[in-house]
Amino acid sequence: MTQDAALLSVDALTVDFRTRAGPLKAVQNVSLEIAAGEILGIVGESGSGKSVTALAIMGLLGKAARLRSGTVRFEGRDVLSMRPRERDAWRGRAAAIVFQNPRSSLNPIRTVGQQIADVIARHNALPAHEIRDRVLDAMRQLRIPDPETRMRAYPFELSGGLCQRIGIAAALACRPRLLIADEPTTDLDVTTQAEIMDMIRQIARARHLGTMLITHDLALAAAYCDRIAVMHAGHLIETAPVAELFARPRHPYTVGLLGSAPSMVDHVDDLCAIPGTLPDLRRTDLPPCRFAERCARRQAACDAPGLDLAPVGPCHAVACRNPF
Amino acid sequence: MTHPPIIAARNLTKRFPIRSGNVLTGRPPASLHAVEDISLEFHAGEAVGLVGESGCGKSTLSRLLCRLIDASSGQILIDGQEVSGISSAAFARSPLRRDIQMVFQDPTDSLNPRFSVFDLIADPLRQLDPPGSRAALRRQVEATAASVNLSPELLSRFPHQLSAGQKARVGIARAMIVEPRLLVLDEPTSALDVSVQATVLQLLNRIRRDQGVALLFVSHDLDVVRLLCSRIIVMYLGQIVESGDTASLFQAPAHPYTKALLSAILSPRGREHRDRIRLDGDPQSPIDPTGLKCRLYGRCPAQQGICGQSEPELRPFSDGRQVRCHLADPEQIPSATPQKGPPDA
């Protein structure tokens, strides 16, 4: 994990949201790296800060969000200090994002072909016929059948799986080096999910893309990622290569997640739920370890400040004072 | 099972008219065949999983069984007694309503935000079988809440003050308070996080085991179905394409669609990947299907000439399974070996 080999490196990212009850500490001190050609899975439950991290990297946070600290470097360039125009050019061309709900992220009153063309035209001054060729190319890459006809369709005329393929085609149309996929298959059927994930992996490998796959589904992350980073309540709590994480999970929350996943057990009585819920992130007295209040392995040392990810093995780091 | 089924459906069919015919132009009326000729039975204490892709008719079938909508044809029997003659509106007021209850997918949308948890749980009982006194009502609500692990202090709260898992349990308590015999659950855990989902699944399993309630579990999550259900029904475009007990169906699926569905399951344990079976192309239109070909024809990786010439029937297998496929051999229990890919694949 050398600094200059990383395609994307995020350091100490901290994001707050303004609320009437005071700042909500959505993401705190998150550091991660993605190498070119690597698929990193960000796994966590709802409210863990996965999507906020992704939006912060892309510069797409809303007005209520405040970036407290942190740096995001892409190929060595500081992304957060780019001027808006520079950043708009970077986003789409060098880094792209695919959202969860394909129907709501596509414009309902433009044809899907136009929407892919918009992305291409935004970043390339090309004559119309070349743009059209590149739209068809992008659609063929995603194995969209009969692209000449489909490009004239509106999102409502296509199935959810096809809409998501259009979204991915648009994201990949300008050949970015970084792809962030935020729950890309959560709303889709299992068979469609498998097809789309196979395609994302295949394209990522072929183009040597750095990919960040955000998901709540451990089985999905296990099947498609090289490395997994687990988030809980705005903290990144454990990161390891897939096989290592499943074989030797160290953080009690990771162990809990694995124990509560239906795909990991043979009988319903073998499931172990994690007690409690996420802490309210607006609290001012949040403990250093935000999992402490749900944790059976809590010790006095857990309440001391200054908890951070620490290496526990090659490429394996965990933020816990009493790991397994 | 020697006991007669508590609830059964016979040749249940639901068609939604989408266009009326025109005598002048000769244009025939069109209808969407959502559920086609489905028969099934539920025994006490049995959990049945209903799986299939979106649009295959799972939700329509569960609404038919709950008598929320009226079938176009076919029967529903409770203890052998025909109830499909009663319209869905009349059924809502009939004492039979208690026997079949439904738990909906989104625990937030299905709870009235202006009702307290107490009123939410008490409401079905007030409607269907009002207890004699307020004290009796309170007792029953508290007992039901306790049976789904809702602590008594939550009873005065409103839905927005509850976590997703608590809301899911309120939804289950509402259904359970009238002591149903069949609980129809439409994707009950798809809105929940895994850590919360585990408790809800265990709760449902306990309800089934301890109170003998039959469960129909509609889900697209095959792992959840595998854990909870002893029997599985696979639907494709309104029809049952395969049904049978969970273990044998998972081990050796007989229908090509079931095979494709199971091959898409991701296993984080040891990456024992089955060979992925892809279904290419789009499903056929559910609007007035010809009935002259298999509904999977055009997407099926195993299809042959006969599949495009006639629609297969649902045939019983020697191991008790039912399969709707021309190419499956009813005498033979399909072997498990061809389904598993090589270990390093």
Q: For residue B44, is pLDDT > 60?
A: yes
B260/A191 Cβ within 8 A: yes
pLDDT recorded at residue B330: 67
Which amino acid type is present at position B106? Answer: D
Quick: pLDDT tens for A179-191: 999 999 887 888 8
Say yes or no for a CB contact (<8 Å) between A219 and B193: no
- Res B32 pLDDT > 80: yes
> What whole-number percentage of chain B has pLDDT above 90?
41
A198, A222, A260 member nearest B194 (Cβ): A260
Order of strands, sheet of A227-232, starting from the edge strand that comes earlier in the sequence: A95-98, A178-182, A210-215, A39-43, A227-232, A235-241, A316-318, A310-313
pLDDT at A117 over 60: yes
Minimal C-alpha gap between A87 and chain B (Å): 34
Inter-chain contact B198–A257, Cβ cutoff 8 Å? Answer: no
Task: Tell me the pLDDT tens digit for each residue of A124-172.
Answer: 899 999 999 999 999 999 988 889 999 999 999 888 888 999 999 999 9
Do residue B282 and residue A195 have CB atoms under 8 angstroms apart? no
Closest-CA distance of chain A to residue B321, Å:
22
Q: Is B220 on the interface with A (CB under 8 A)?
A: yes
**The pair of three-digit structure tokens given for residue A320, joined into one six-digit string:** 């816990």
Q: Return the SS3 of B231.
A: strand
- For residue B33, give every residue at least 6 positions away whose Cβ sits within 8 Å of its Cβ, in sequence order, or none: B13, B15, B237, B238, B286, B287, B288, B289
- Tokens 């007792």 — which residue? B139
User: Which amino acid would we find at residue A265?
Assistant: V
Which chain A residue's Cα is nearest to B268? A219
Q: What token pair was written down for A311?
A: 């290496």
- Residues of chain A above pLDDT 70, percent: 98
Q: Averaged over A238-248, what is the pLDDT?
A: 93
Task: Encode pLDDT of A78-109 as tens digits.
Answer: 999 999 999 999 998 999 999 988 888 899 99
pLDDT digits (tens, 9 = 90+) for B213-222: 999 999 888 8
Chain A residues within 8 A of B273 when measuring between CB atoms = 223
CB-nearest partner of A268 from B195, B202, B263: B202
- Give B42's pLDDT tier (boundaries 50, 70, 90): very high
- B343's tokens: 């270990």
Tell me: pLDDT of A2 over 60. no
Nearest CA in chain B to A160: B54
Tens of pLDDT, residues A254-282: 999 999 988 888 888 888 888 888 888 99
Residue with tokens 């389904």: B339
Q: Which residue of B has its CA nearest to A257?
A: B195
Q: How is chain A split among helix, strand and coil, in percent rounded to 5?
A: 40, 25, 40
Residue B271 has pLDDT above 60, yes or no: no
Partners of A72 in the β-ladder? A10
- Determine whether the interchain pair B54/A160 forms a contact, defined as Cβ–Cβ distance below 8 Å: yes
Pick from A275-279, B60-64, B71-75, B267-271: least confident? B267-271
- Measured at the CA of B70, the angle between CA B64 and CA B73, to 5 degrees, comes to 90
Q: Cβ atoms within 10 A of the Cβ of B233, count? A: 24
pLDDT of residue B272: 52
Confidence category of residue B344, pLDDT binned at 50, 70, 90: very low
Verify whether the Cβ–Cβ distance B220 to A192 is below 8 Å: no
ipTM of the complex: 0.82
Question: Beta partners for A144?
Answer: none
Decide if B269 and A277 are in contact by the 8 Å CB cutoff: no
Q: How far is A101 from chain B (nearest CA, A)?
A: 15
Q: To the nearest whole number, what is the mean pLDDT of chain B?
A: 86
What pLDDT, on the 0 to 100 scale, is given for residue B3? 78
Q: Residues 25..64 of B with a Cβ closer than 8 Å to A: which?
A: 53-54
Torsion of CA B217, B223, B224, B229, to 10 degrees: 50
Query: Other C-beta atoms within 10 Å of B23: how many?
Result: 6
Q: How far is B260 from chain A (nearest CA, A)?
A: 7
Q: Does B345 touch chain A (CB under 8 A)?
A: no
pLDDT for residue B81: 87
In terms of phi and psi (left: phi > 0; alpha: psi -120 to 50; beta: otherwise), the region of B322 is beta
Nearest to B201 among A193, A263, A271 (CB): A271
Collect all residues of chain A within an 8 Å Cβ-Cβ radius of residue B261.
190-191
Q: Is the pLDDT of residue A209 over 50?
A: yes
**Is B265–A223 a contact, with Cβ atoms under 8 angstroms apart?**
no
Residue A1 predicted with pLDDT over 90: no
Q: Which residue has the higher pLDDT, B299 or B278?
A: B299
Summarize the confidence of residues A308-323 as an average pLDDT: 91
Residue listed under structure tokens 């695919």: A98
Chain B residues close to A219, C-beta within 8 Å: 223, 265-268
pLDDT beyond 70 at B340: no
For residue B200, give every residue at least 6 positions away whose Cβ sits within 8 Å of its Cβ, in sequence order, or none: B165, B168, B169, B172, B188, B189, B192
In the predicted model, what is the mean pLDDT of residues B288-313?
86
Taking the mean position of all CA atoms in its chain, how far away is CA A9? 14
What's this model's pTM, rounded to 2 decimal places? Answer: 0.85
Is residue B280 pLDDT above 80, yes or no? no
Residues B216 and A252: their CA atoms lie apart, in Å, by 34
Decide if B53 and A264 are in contact by the 8 Å CB cutoff: no
Average pLDDT, integer, range B141-152: 91
Chain B residues with CB-CB distance to A277 below 8 A: 163, 165
Number of cross-chain residue pairs from A and B with Cβ atoms under 8 Å apart: 107
Q: Is the pLDDT of residue B1 over 80?
A: no
pLDDT mean over A235-239 = 94
From chain B, pick out residues whose CB is under 8 angstroms from the CB of A264: 268-269
Residue of B nearest to A189 (CA): B53
The answer to whether the Cβ–Cβ distance between B227 and A273 falls below 8 Å is: no
Measured CA to CA, the distance from residue B67 to residue B76 in angstroms comes to: 9
What is the largest distance, in Å, between two alpha-carbon atoms of chain A?
A: 68
- pLDDT recorded at residue A273: 85
Q: Is B284 on the interface with A (CB under 8 A)?
A: no
User: Cα separation of A95 and A182, whole Å?
Assistant: 13
By Cβ distance, the residue of A145, A191, A277 closest to B264 is A191
CB contact under 8 A, B266 and A191: no
Q: Which residues of A touch B54 (CB under 8 A)?
A: 160, 189
pLDDT confidence of residue A213: 96
The enclosing H or E element of B17 equals strand B7-19
